[in-house]
Amino acid sequence: MVDLGSLIWHASMSMLTTAAPVCEPAGTIQPSMFNPAGAPAATILGITWLLFVITGAIAIVVLSLIAYAAIRCRRKDGDDLEPAQVYGSNPIELAWTVIPLLIVFLLFMISARGIFDLERTTPPEGSLEVSVTGHRWWWEFDYGDLGIVTAGELHVPIDDGKPADLFLTLHSADVAHSFWVPQLGGKMDVIPDRINHLWLQANAPATYVGQCAEYCGTQHAKMLIRVVVEPRADFEAWVANQQKDAVAADAAVKEGHDLFLRTSCINCHTVRGTVANGSFAPDLTHIMSRDTIGSGAAPNNPKTLRQWVFDPQNIKPGCDMPSMKLSRHEVDLVCAYLETLK
């Protein structure tokens, strides 16, 4: 569905990004707060529409009265230069004090109830709990007891006929970010030295796209989020795969594997089961299970992977990953190895 929200989103994304947008697989829902997929987002949209209707009605009444006065009460030939001066009217003054007070009080009560519904410091029953770390410019997702650490993409199980609840604990490794997946809930600041929580909910399986919503530097626009809500069996298969160490390099990719482990890639990236155990950058143990590279900067396919390894600064200028000055042949070798990390 194309609506105002997704139009604004696409317009701002195309202004902010220079590379071609990620070609989305079927079942991906583009972000729009006007198309909620769960209770928290629906609550926010309900309040938004209510405020819009009430403030819109006030605007219509006020603007109509101004237009009426301007047309009907124009000075005509022969009128005095100064109109009749009227001082004080208790009924009018009472009306324009009490009515706005009642309206503001009503809006306050509705907003407060919405905030209390959405703000949670403890997870709803049966929710998946994930710890989120905002980095310039990517998201790290730690599944705690499940022993999974991944980047850019969250997987969430959903059971038939029940909404999927997701409870996030958010912190930042550097500057202030904001976590926002419009279909699934509100926006939450991700701030250094502070822990925030966010409750998200999805009613149906799909991939929901979101975005860092607090300007955090050069690549703020390419700090994207993907939430893959999938049937429980698919989720369990995903978990089982993510929990495994990286596959051992076979003879065909041995050269690329050795080259990868000799470069300084391993100071920042982890590939579980090898000596690569850096923690500054996304875990690559199962990099090929992800739809995108660079937290949504490019689709994950053999061509973009090679472009990325050859010169990440070309795809995501300013990101922490430098060009390793590998030759084209060396890039091919390393990528052939990375492509086995499914």
User: Can you give the binding site for ligand CUA, defined by CB under 6 A?
Assistant: 134, 137, 177, 212, 214-216, 220, 223
Residue 132 to residue 107: CA distance in whole angstroms: 33
Indicate the residue among 22 and 221 with the shorter CB distance to ligand CUA: 221
User: Nearest 10 degrees: CA dihedral of 220, 183, 166, 292?
Assistant: -50
Indicate the residue among 206 and 216 with the shorter CB distance to ligand CUA: 216
Task: Select from 43, 45, 21 the least CA-distant residue to 34.
Answer: 45
Secondary structure element (H or E) that encloses residue 196, with its range: strand 196-202
- The phi, psi pair for 64, rounded to 5°, reads -65, -45
Do residues 185 and 198 make contact, with C-beta atoms less than 8 angstroms apart? yes
Indicate the residue among 223 and 315 with the shorter CB distance to ligand CUA: 223
Indicate the residue among 208 and 260 with the shorter CB distance to ligand CUA: 208
Indicate the residue among 178 and 201 with the shorter CB distance to ligand CUA: 178
Task: Detail the DSSP E strand segments found in 94-223.
Answer: 128-135, 138-142, 149-151, 153-158, 164-172, 177-180, 187-190, 196-202, 206-212
Residue 91 to residue 68: CA distance in whole angstroms: 21
- If one counts every other C-beta atom within 10 angstroms of the C-beta of residue 57, the result is 11
Instruction: Find the shortest distance in angstroms from Cβ 38 to ligand CUA.
Output: 23
Instruction: Find the shortest distance in angstroms from Cβ 223 to ligand CUA.
Output: 4
Instruction: Find the shortest distance in angstroms from Cβ 214 to ligand CUA.
Output: 5
Indicate the residue among 223 and 305 with the shorter CB distance to ligand CUA: 223
3-state secondary structure 31-70: CCCCCCCCHHHHHHHHHHHHHHHHHHHHHHHHHHHHHHHH
Instruction: Find the shortest distance in angstroms from Cβ 243 to ligand CUA.
Output: 28
Indicate the residue among 225 and 326 with the shorter CB distance to ligand CUA: 225
Instruction: Find the shortest distance in angstroms from Cβ 150 to ligand CUA.
Output: 18
Instruction: Find the shortest distance in angstroms from Cβ 192 to ligand CUA.
Output: 12
Indicate the residue among 135 and 272 with the shorter CB distance to ligand CUA: 135
In whole angstroms, how far apart are CA 163 and each of 41, 322, 323? 13, 42, 43
| Partners of 150 in the β-ladder | 141
User: Nearest 10 degrees: CA dihedral of 279, 314, 171, 216?
Assistant: 150
Instruction: Find the shortest distance in angstroms from Cβ 132 to ligand CUA.
Output: 12
Do residues 279 and 270 make contact, with C-beta atoms less than 8 angstroms apart? yes
DSSP 8-state assignment for residue 274: S
Instruction: Find the shortest distance in angstroms from Cβ 172 to ligand CUA.
Output: 8
